[in-house]
Structure 1
């Protein structure tokens, strides 16, 4: 029973984990496993820009959750995670299997974290959400 209670409260480490996921998304095009793609060309520039923008947004949303908790932030994290999962197919870099794997994994973690936090904060009043950062 105590394990269930652990997951029913929004904890600060969840926000720090969200910030870490944002940084990992940001640097994902340069993970060491993908050393064969060292040349940055025009075809990879949109993929790098996408990883940069999504990583910065995930980091920023997690940072906002840490400072001033609002319900829309969890929804935004879920949308960003789903976008990251779909982006290899949208931008046409799904042939890069390692990057597709990393983006699917990191995007899935962002979605799961956002869903957990949304579930934790769903029943809280606005006053309780405002007290989160204290």
Structure 2
């Protein structure tokens, strides 16, 4: 499969990669770099999401998508678990990117993943 065809076939993973990169840079872009837990969470989880998305584009595996689902779920709850829910830009960034990551990863897995045979 040609690279352009592969990118268009795996558009959910391309978008998840962009979301991961956006999350990584969001503390500086949105002004919450001074919030240690929020910024560290954005850097670490954003980098992992981007790397997993690139891996899924290059050699799709269902486990990559399910790890992205778990990371997305973590992003949704992390503002309250890590006590930065009062920092609105950080909270909104984490929750919205978390929701998008979960939806895109599940969509990609159902579209490209291995499915159990019907009984």
TM > 0.5: yes
Unaligned runs of 5+ in 2: 1-7
2:22 equivalent in structure 1: 24
2:115 equivalent in structure 1: 123
Structure 1 length-normalised TM: 0.73
Do residues 88 (structure 1) and 79 (structure 2) align?
yes
Deviation, structure 1 residue 13: 2.1
Secondary structure of the residue that 1:31 maps to in structure 2? helix
Secondary structure of the residue that 2:22 maps to in structure 1? helix
1:60 equivalent in structure 2: 51
Structure 2 length-normalised TM: 0.82
Residues in 2 aligned to 1:48 and 1:80: alpha-carbon distance in whole angstroms: 16
Residues in 1 aligned to 2:42 and 2:29: alpha-carbon distance in whole angstroms: 12
Question: What's the RMSD between the two structures over aligned residues?
Answer: 2.0
After superposing on structure 2, the runs of 4+ consecutive aligned residues of structure 1 that deviate more than 6 Å are none
Secondary structure of the residue that 2:79 maps to in structure 1? helix
Deviation, structure 1 residue 124: 8.0
2:65 equivalent in structure 1: 74
Unaligned runs of 5+ in 1: 1-9, 126-134
